[in-house]
Chain A
Amino acid sequence: MSTRLANGGRLVNRDRAVSFSFNGKQMRGFEGDTLASALLAGDQMLVGRSFKYHRPRGIVASGAEEPNGLVNLGSGDMFEPNARVTTTEVFDGLQAGSQNHWPSLEFDVGAVNAKLSRFLPAGFYYKMFIHPRPLWKHVYEPFIRQSAGLGKAPKDRDGERYEHFYAHVDLLIIGGGIAGLVAAKAAIGSGLRVLVVEQTAAWGGRAPVDGAEIDGMPADQWVAQTVAELDAAENIEMRTRLMGAGVYDHGYVLGYERIGDHQPGASLPKHRLWRIRAGHVLTATGAIERPLSFAGNDVPGVMLASAVRDYAVNFGVSAGDRTVVVTNNDDAYRTALVMKEAGLDVPAIIDARDGGAGALGAEAEAAGIRVLKGKGIAKVKGGKRVTGVATCAMAGEGTPQEEIACDVVAMSGGWSPVVHLWSHCGGKLLWDEHHAFFRPDPERAPTGAAGEAFVSVAGSANGAMALANVVVDAAAQGVAAVKAAGGKAAKVAVKAEAEDMAAMAPVWMMPQGAKYELRTKMWLDYQNDVKVSDVQLAAQEGFESVEHTKRYTTLGMATDQGKLSNINGLAILSDALNQPIPQTGTTTFRPPYTPISMGAIAGEARDTIFQPLRKTPMHEWHDAHGAHWEPVGHWRRAYCFQQPGESVEDAVQREVKNTREKLGLLDASTLGKLIVKGPDAGKFLDMLYTNMMSTLKVGRCRYGLMCSENGFLMDDGVVARLSEDTFLCHTTSGGADHIHAHMEEWLQTEWWDWKVWVVNATEQYAQVAVVGPKARKVLQKLGGLDVSRDALPFMGWAEGEIAGIPARAFRISFSGELSYEIAVPANYGQAFWDKLIEAGEEFGVMPYGTEALHIMRAEKGFIMIGDETDGTVIPQDLELNWAISKKKEDFIGKRGQERVHMTDPDRWKLVGLKTVDGSVLPDGAYAVSEGSNANGQRNVIGRVTSTYHSPTLDRGIAMGLVKHGPDRMGERLEFPKVDGTSVHAEICDPVFFDREGEKQDV
């Protein structure tokens, strides 16, 4: 069993006990424990089930590479799935639950999948899902649903807080182990802004666990001294619990900091996403131990040798009473010695090498540990926990020789440098034959804006494995990095004694000639249930590319991202393909290094600050008067104003009627208002609009269309000529910024010698549309500007004061009624609105919203950008030829509209649609004709673009685009509905109301 040792645990505080729960069971740990160490201290080795076969899974590792220990944390709005037990710090009250088991961790129904493993080979998903559809519903889906998904998706809104943090540094050092600290010493007094980050809560990495000596002192002491020294340096910022998650173009790095995770209730953000720009990045990310592939290497109790050592030294936890070490290198001997020293049994070290280890080998034998050389593990005994191993000759097929009882197997297949961050932005790797690993190729580093190498690597991440080499490499890399970042490097002299170590021997399968039966029990990827036999099968089936094999077998997918499984899988694939490992290559390392929370990515961008919210000057009044809001771009506009007890639909109908019969007010402040000024303004607008703007007289308004170079209609609005060289262009509400940018683009990049200046004055004015038969009366009552028909005719504008407020009145109408759009300085907006409401009372004034606006324009057959247009519609489709100049040689979109497809007489054109039964056509409905197309779908000949119930006509009205529409007046079209029935409509003139325009021109 695993338990807490009487002594030891450099990272835990035995004076501070914490209690937590796992699957409802109360457990205890100490401050400083990870969830993994606390679980092991409570004899909880089993933490989950594998994805495909639901095999029992125990803790394997002690760090970010842990494949099995993924748990659900918390509940309700604090629920978090897929938390890694090895990187989760335990705290008082923590609730954890295992994932991917049903109905319980101990007894899992899905485990029957394991019995079917012969039928779930590599590529099983691909092979299975090409079968006919009915099987999906009845066989596959229920099966997948039962077993799919590692964690559960949270059901509640996340109750935690997250934030983003920006940092600009000259040098970023990622990794606070010995290499990172040594390298950082070179930056002391360098004049550079330096940030050093460490993903765990403790500095120093592995060296203190390994009992190393640096500069003649114990590693722990050296680390404390060095951290103090770096902390004291003004130019260096030191941060723990901050992981380098991803390295991107030009020195952009994402960091992931855990702040509130281990201190709930402290009113802190849970995570912080660091968005770092670094002049130079030095990664000192260490190395990860590799598992060995032997039969039964997934039984709980089989762990990485380094992890077994970590739990003993860092947390004072023994993974078990009897530990068998199996290795192909010297480093794992340290685990045997640590366990022995803790008073535990180490029945044997099984060393795959015939020659065994160097000095550590002698030390082990002196401690009374039996060392078996040239041996391997034939098979691990046990189901939910290791009970023993059978040994075999490494060279053979796996005939068992001897059984050794144990409850822990500490395995080491050698170490792989953590090259993820180096590789994220294009750093290439080279194969190091001697150590059998990939390490960064300094000749092919990621390059920055100036073509310089902006990432370098130090220590074991760079392939320097023994501590003596680590300190030398890190010092050199630190100095080089400081120089690369433009600083003056300090001298760094750190010493560690070289040890007598024997070379490691690559072992990709144990034993070397393992039979098929054993190979089907050798796990490469614990999380995704990929075995040696799966990769071999993939190779047999022709998957020669490592990227294809990865996807076919799911090796190294999901959260593993190649941490544990990578090299072993590549080696097996290379062997099966009969080619050297570097020829097989690696899969692509993608950020993030380990999963980061969605909350951290979102940061503060939620609720009201998700995006900017734009409000007109009259927003508060609308809000207080029943506004039913709708988003229009970043604006909020009133859809309608509900009176007490009134439905939204009824409010809209009332507003239309009131405006047509009496007086309506619309807040039109959101309309884009672009001022285009300069000697060439007219010439410029002639290019921008399809019609002629340069001939517009001062004091007059003209409706205009704007197209893209493709010819498609992109915006419309009324242009007023303010003076000889000044135009005011109104755009759609959502279009102001976009059209402003469009104008700037042409002015800056095509006609840069034209003398034109554009200003977006949208927010400088509040604009109110005063609409209805009583519109003139209310303005005359307010007094000031002459708004009579003669002084201010239709499509004219005038400037003056109304009710003492400076105003510009445009006689334009989007409703077909007598209408004045009046712009006042934004800060007068509310005052002007108040005066209109007050003075309008006797005329029956009511505010109206965007829906009434839409209905009134549809009754008049006016198009709306975004309804009648969708980016594929040209003005000619909308029967707007009258607004397209034939005299102009050129305008943006003219050439585009001359293309064959655009002049095709079969293009769908705008018409009105009247349902036969008076009902409202469904929005977006298609008109069908006889016959069907090649896919068996009905042929279509048109579609609905706008559809409303018209209160004025008391019937459904619509506009639509119909093939040969204008030539088919009076014809009836069939529009099938979603419910299978059809509705019929007659093609008619799109102007449903006041065809002659008498009402607006009074």
Chain B
Amino acid sequence: MLTLNCPYCGIAADETELSPGGQAHLKRFGPGSSEDEFEGYLFMRENPRGVHFERWRHSNGCGKWFHAARCTSTLEVFGTYSAQTVEPPAELRKTISEKRPGWSWGEFS
């Protein structure tokens, strides 16, 4: 039962207020993409022990989607941020580097 801070309404939301949305920062591949690209977009997912970026929706709250960066093994939450971005904010990446030196996730580190 996690609590995540909704970056929109600013409250610490209980997991019962939230819906999980899987991995964050997927790049959509549509018509014209190769089989590998489309498979990667639709099915291939990170499954890290450690730093992870996820999508959540404050569904029983303000209704907004947001992103969360957290550690899958300790459940530490490094931060939450807008869903309207294609990469984790630099500030957050710095914070994670301080706590988990040498981390990497997908194309980010």
A249-B84 CB under 8 A given contacts A710-B42, A889-B31, A890-B31? no
**A250 touching B2, Cβ below 8 Å:** yes
Asked if A709 CB lies within 8 Å of chain B CBs, one says yes
Those of B9-34 within 8 Å (CB) of chain A: 14-15, 21, 28-33
- Enumerate chain A residues within 8 angstroms of B38, measured Cβ to Cβ: 895-896, 899
For A708, the closest partner residue in chain B by CB is: B42
B33 to chain A, nearest CB (A): 6
Those of A243-258 within 8 Å (CB) of chain B: 248-252
Which one of A448, A741, A744, A750 lies within 8 Å of B28 (CB-CB)?
Answer: A750
- Enumerate chain A residues within 8 angstroms of B57, measured Cβ to Cβ: 741, 745
- Enumerate chain B residues within 8 angstroms of A896, measured Cβ to Cβ: 38, 42
Which one of B15, B35, B71 lies within 8 Å of A899 (CB-CB)?
Answer: B35
Asked if B63 CB lies within 8 Å of chain A CBs, one says yes
Give the docked Cα–Cα distance between A251 and B75 (Å): 11
**B75 touching A250, Cβ below 8 Å:** yes
**B75 touching A249, Cβ below 8 Å:** yes
A447-B64 CB under 8 A given contacts A709-B42, A748-B83, A748-B84? no
Those of A221-259 within 8 Å (CB) of chain B: 248-252
Those of A728-753 within 8 Å (CB) of chain B: 741, 744-745, 748-750, 752
For A745, the closest partner residue in chain B by CB is: B65
Which one of B30, B35, B55, B75 lies within 8 Å of A447 (CB-CB)?
Answer: B75
Those of A962-987 within 8 Å (CB) of chain B: none
**B76 touching A451, Cβ below 8 Å:** yes
Q: How does the 8 Å CB contact mask read for B25-68 relative to A, with 1 for contact and 0 for none?
A: 00011111101001000100000000000010101000111000
B41 to chain A, nearest CB (A): 8
For A451, the closest partner residue in chain B by CB is: B76
**Which of A449, A710, A744, A896 counts the most B-chain CB atoms under 10 A from its CB?**
A449
**A741 touching B84, Cβ below 8 Å:** no
Interface size on A, residues (CB 8 A): 28
B80 to chain A, nearest CB (A): 10
B42 to chain A, nearest CB (A): 6
For B67, the closest partner residue in chain A by CB is: A749
Q: How does the 8 Å CB contact mask read for B73-86 relative to A, with 1 for contact and 0 for none?
A: 01111000001100
- Enumerate chain A residues within 8 angstroms of B14, measured Cβ to Cβ: 277
Asked if A450 CB lies within 8 Å of chain B CBs, one says yes
- Enumerate chain A residues within 8 angstroms of B63, measured Cβ to Cβ: 744
Asked if A898 CB lies within 8 Å of chain B CBs, one says yes
A747 to chain B, nearest CB (A): 9
**A895 touching B55, Cβ below 8 Å:** no
For B59, the closest partner residue in chain A by CB is: A741
Asked if B3 CB lies within 8 Å of chain A CBs, one says yes
Give the docked Cα–Cα distance between A898 and B29 (Å): 13
B14 to chain A, nearest CB (A): 7
- Enumerate chain A residues within 8 angstroms of B42, measured Cβ to Cβ: 709-710, 896
- Enumerate chain B residues within 8 angstroms of A741, measured Cβ to Cβ: 57, 59
A449-B3 CB under 8 A given contacts A890-B30, A895-B33? yes
Which one of B2, B21, B55, B64 lies within 8 Å of A249 (CB-CB)?
Answer: B2
Asked if A894 CB lies within 8 Å of chain B CBs, one says yes
Give the docked Cα–Cα distance between A447 and B75 (Å): 7
Give the docked Cα–Cα distance between A601 and B83 (Å): 35
A448-B75 CB under 8 A given contacts A741-B59, A748-B83? yes
Give the docked Cα–Cα distance between A449 and B77 (Å): 5
**B1 touching A252, Cβ below 8 Å:** yes
- Enumerate chain B residues within 8 angstroms of A745, measured Cβ to Cβ: 21, 57, 65
Give the docked Cα–Cα distance between A451 and B50 (Å): 12
For A747, the closest partner residue in chain B by CB is: B65
**Which of B4, B30, B33, B74 counts the most A-chain CB atoms under 10 A from its CB?**
B30
**A450 touching B77, Cβ below 8 Å:** yes
Give the docked Cα–Cα distance between A131 and B59 (Å): 51
**A250 touching B29, Cβ below 8 Å:** no
Give the docked Cα–Cα distance between A172 and B33 (Å): 54
**A752 touching B84, Cβ below 8 Å:** yes
Which one of A450, A894, A895 lies within 8 Å of B76 (CB-CB)?
Answer: A450
A748-B28 CB under 8 A given contacts A250-B3, A447-B74, A896-B42? no
Given contact pairs A451-B99, A748-B64, a sample of 15 additional A-B residue pairs in the complex whose CB atoms are under 8 Å apart? A249-B1, A250-B1, A250-B3, A250-B75, A277-B14, A447-B75, A449-B4, A451-B71, A451-B74, A745-B57, A748-B84, A752-B83, A752-B84, A896-B38, A896-B42
What are 18 A-B residue pairs whose CB atoms fall within 8 Å in the complex?
A: A249-B2, A250-B1, A447-B75, A448-B76, A449-B3, A450-B76, A451-B71, A451-B74, A745-B21, A748-B65, A748-B83, A748-B84, A890-B30, A894-B30, A895-B29, A895-B30, A895-B32, A899-B35
B contact set with A: CB distance below 8 Å: 1-4, 14-15, 21, 28-33, 35, 38, 42, 55, 57, 59, 63-65, 71, 74-77, 83-84, 99
